[in-house]
Amino acid sequence: MSRALALLVTGASGMLLPRHFLGVAARHAAVEKIHLVVSKGASQVLFHELGRDQTGAEALVEAAGLDAAARARVVIHRDNELDAPISSGSYRLAGTLVLPCSSGTFGAFAAGTAATLVQRAGAVALKERWPLVLGVRETPLSVVHLENLAALAWAGAIVVPPIPAFYIGGEQMARFLDAYSQRLLDHLGLGPDGPGLRWG
């Protein structure tokens, strides 16, 4: 079984989410490679929310604070790189995570649009029946949003909004981010082991 993931970052608010997940997953014993794609919209949000001097995937990797070994597991692709390996079902992945997932992105998935690498990688995960996990960041949800998400759930996607797990206690954001990252790894079939996870 492949131990490679795709992490697709789209232009919704919440760049702490992929930053934290990237830091956890790139150090996780079960993850050999992470294919990272940051959309143009995500680059703009990342610049505003994380205050990086640069934009795009490089800025997210830098913000995640990866050591050399973890950084070597991350492969960066441009969103217009439609010939990237993850654009084909012939290149097997353990799963695909869209985090944060904008309403425009899950709308494109529901419509079967594949004009960008993010959209194509999502479509590939659906057709190949790999885990497609959507960290949807949108509220309130309109009927259109709900119908799109229902269609994706019927097609096999897993909708996992970043809702705080209040039962873990504490007031630190890191505890929520750890708990949410663990939940995402579970849905990707990668189990609980890995550094940086500080909850039971």
Tens of pLDDT along 167-177? 777 778 888 89
Alpha helices in the chain (DSSP H): 16-25, 40-50, 57-64, 68-71, 103-111, 117-128, 143-155, 173-187
pLDDT at 199: 42
| Cα 199-158-34 angle, rounded to 5 deg | 70
Task: Report how far residue 162's alpha carbon sits from residue 156's, in angstroms, rounded to the nearest whole number.
Answer: 19
Which among 94, 166, 158 is positioned nearest to 132, based on CA atoms?
158
CA 94 to chain CA centroid, nearest Å: 13
Residue 42: name the closest of 110, 126, 116 by CA: 116
Helix and strand numbers, DSSP H then E, in the chain: 8, 6
Q: Which residues pair with 170 in a beta bridge?
A: none
Between CA 135 and CA 189 the distance in angstroms is 16
User: Is residue 2 predicted with pLDDT exceeding 80?
Assistant: no
Tokens of 100: 């944060």
Residue with tokens 């790894």: 185
Q: What is the per-residue pLDDT for 187?
A: 93
Residue 94 tokens, joined: 């353990």
pLDDT in tens, 65-109: 999 999 999 999 999 999 999 999 999 999 999 999 999 999 999
Q: How confident is the model at residue 47 (pLDDT cuts 50, 70, 90)?
A: confident
Residue 42: closest CA among 60, 25, 26: 60
Where does 4-187 sit in CATH, by number?
A: 3.40.50.1950
Write out pLDDT tens, residues 173-198: 888 898 899 999 999 988 765 444 44
C-alpha angle with apex 46: 40 to 51, nearest 5 degrees?
135
Indicate if the pLDDT at residue 158 is higher than 90: yes
Task: Compute how many other C-beta atoms are within 10 angstroms of the C-beta atom of residue 117.
Answer: 23
The pair of three-digit structure tokens given for residue 75, joined into one six-digit string: 């492969």
Residue 28 identity (one-letter amino acid): H
Q: Tell whether the model's pLDDT for residue 1 goes beyond 60.
A: no
Report the pLDDT value the prediction gives residue 112, as an integer from 0 to 100: 95
Q: Taking the complete model, does pTM exceed 0.75, yes or no?
A: yes
Q: What are phi and psi of 2, to 5 degrees?
A: -65, 145
